[in-house]
Structure 1
Amino acid sequence: MAIALASLRRLLSVVLLMAAVLPAWADEAAIRKNLAERLPDLPKVDEVAKTPIPGLFEVRIGTDLFYTDEQGQYLIAGQMIETKTRTNLTEARIAKLTAIDFASLPLKDAIVWKQGSGARKLVVFADPNCGYCKKFEQELQKVKDVTVYTFLYPILGGDSPEKSRNIWCAKDNTKAWREWMVDGKAPGRAMGQCDTAALQRNAELGRKHRVNGTPALVFEDGRRVSGALPPEQVEKQLVASVRKAG
């Protein structure tokens, strides 16, 4: 009798486990199937995950997030905010998805300038013809004790690739970059042989991390920000990233 009861308990445990797991599989399968059938122009879904809200699922496509019900009948684009702590869960999730391992970045391919001790580090993807990049570069002069690594990333068309080459191939490319971005002095035309392979690697790096606009910032803790930040916000994030890294 004791053996029979033990076997029954084990069987019951397996049944309960299957009951807990199978609905999740069924939900994901239904979501993928229905979204693909009903929204054929929707890119392939990379991941389906539960959210803190019962019956609501996160649908991830690349680094874009959507929300749906368990049957994929509705698709919601928007922000999910946890009201008790006022945490933007969507923003936090995207920050995690888009984070870049700072240590993996090929800093040798960047233009480097330092202010003060240079103890803190910041990476910037920038196009030389980007107005927001110029303004950001000028505002960065107010931030102390930072080393800035700029990956030339000419994605705006026009003469951006030529300007990038002229700056990269200048005798002092840091000086050429800052004179153009801060003072508006155009770089001289690059003459003779110059290894521009770094510019191609920068383009590949940007595509790899889906950098679709400039400026794009990367802090030491991996946090990535699209667009320019005012100096006080840069300072705040530099402090936070150093704390995390430490």
Structure 2
Amino acid sequence: MLNKSIIALLGLLMLNVACAEQKSEGQQNSGQAPEVIRERLLEARPDLNLGEVRPSPIEGLYQVQVVGGPILYVTPKGDMMIAGDLLAIGPGGFSRVEDPYLVEKRQEALAALDPSESIDFKPEGETKAVVYVFTDVDCGYCRRLHQQIEAYRDGGRELPGYRDLGIEIRYLAYPRAGVNSSSGEKLVTAWCADDQQGTMDRLKHMQPVPGKSCDDHPVAKHFRLGADLGVSGTPALLMPDGRLVAGYLPPADLARMLELD
């Protein structure tokens, strides 16, 4: 008959083996989670165009960008998810969480962008900051942003536009309804035009512009890039440090965010 010390030793050994097996299983499941999540999401919605599945800033959850839609935060089993922005809770209130992976990816994308592929509106004087804007010509807030590139009137006052504050706006194409939509065709027209700035200006002011196409436009490329970088709507402002600001910001607010003098 086994004495108590041997029984205790065997019990401890069995517990260690069980823990090791659970840890191994957890590691295996963790490695399989991205594949499982993609499979489950596409089973539910075969029409979804999904980006890369990877760990999220919330421990235990994974995240995946829906092209043209929100970021999904999904359980490893792919059986539950949360859609929307991730907010940090702090003493001063709530703030949008910037995913370090995406920030680094955006910085790399900024460095790799071909300046000839954007439609630029530069200040007449010194350029103090460059902001890339993913835009759609049929988006109301995109039109408002464009109308404030120059000085504009608000509440009876004349206020400085982006260019007046030293901010260069560089447009990238992001047709929310897809590249083959009416909005996509208008953006193609702007990029294929001989006068890109003038054509973009007329489109933003809802003026009729004859359609034009070409083989070397970057509209589809920009749309894919936006999806990879976390764009889910327009306008989306890609800041010099890799932050992505969703939505319109008045010129003065953008200048403050950029810490311009």
TM range (shorter): 0.5 to 0.7
Deviation at 1:102, TM superposition (A): 1.0
Query: What's the C-alpha RMSD, in Å, of the aligned pairs?
Result: 4.4
- The answer to whether the 8 Å contact 2:136/2:187 transfers is no
Deviates more, 1:119-128 or 1:21-30: 21-30
Tell me the CA shift for residue 161 of structure 1. 1.5
**Are 1:224 and 2:241 counterparts?**
no
Q: Aligned residue pairs: how many?
A: 214
Distance 1:106 1:83, change over 3 A: same
Map 1:1-246 → 2, pairs under 5 A = 22=24, 24-25=26-27, 28=30, 40-41=43-44, 46-48=53-55, 51=58, 57-62=60-65, 64-66=71-73, 68=75, 75-77=81-83, 79=86, 81-83=88-90, 88=95, 91-93=97-99, 96=102, 100=106, 101-115=109-123, 116-141=125-150, 142-143=161-162, 144-154=165-175, 156=177, 157-158=181-182, 161-162=185-186, 164-165=188-189, 168-170=192-194, 172-181=195-204, 185-187=207-209, 196-199=214-217, 201-210=218-227, 211-239=231-259
Q: Which moved more, 1:124-133 or 1:92-101?
A: 92-101
**1 CA distance for matches of 2:92 and 2:239?**
25
Q: Secondary structure at the match of 1:207?
A: helix
Cα offset for 1:111? 1.6
* Cα distance change on mapping 1:230 and 1:74 into 2, 3 Å: same
In structure 1, distance between residues paired with 2:131 and 2:184? 23
TM-score by structure 1 length? Answer: 0.62
Q: Partners in 2 of 1:20 and 1:212 — Cα distance? A: 38
Amino acid at match of 2:201: R
Shift of 1:104: 1.2
Structure 2 length normalisation: TM-score? 0.59
Task: Return the alpha-carbon distance in structure 2 between the equivalents of residues 189 and 37 of structure 1.
Answer: 40
Aligned residue for 1:12?
A: none
1:194-240 deviation digits (Å, cap 9, x = unpaired): 8x3442x2322322331454323212222223332222332233338
SS at match of 1:234: helix
Distance in 2 between residues matched to 1:21 and 1:138, nearest whole Å: 58
Name the residue aligned to 2:11: none
Identity, % of aligned positions: 20
Residue 124 of structure 1 and its aligned partner are, at CA, apart by 1.7
Is the 2:185–2:211 contact (alpha carbons within 8 Å) kept by the matching residues of 1? no
| Structure showing greater relative contact order (alpha-carbon pairs closer than 8 Å, 6 or more residues apart) | 2
Larger helix proportion, structure 1 or 2? 1
The runs of 5 or more residues in structure 1 that have no matched partner are 1-14, 241-246
Q: Is the Cα–Cα contact under 8 Å of residues 166 and 187 in structure 1 kept in the other structure?
A: no
Q: Is the 8 A contact 1:127 1:215 kept in 2?
A: yes
Q: Does the CA-based 8 Å contact 1:154-1:164 persist in structure 2?
A: no
Structure 2 match to 1:8: none
Mark the runs of 5 or more structure 2 residues left unpaired by the alignment. Answer: 1-15, 151-160
- Aligned counterparts of 1:155 and 1:198: Cα–Cα separation in 2: 21
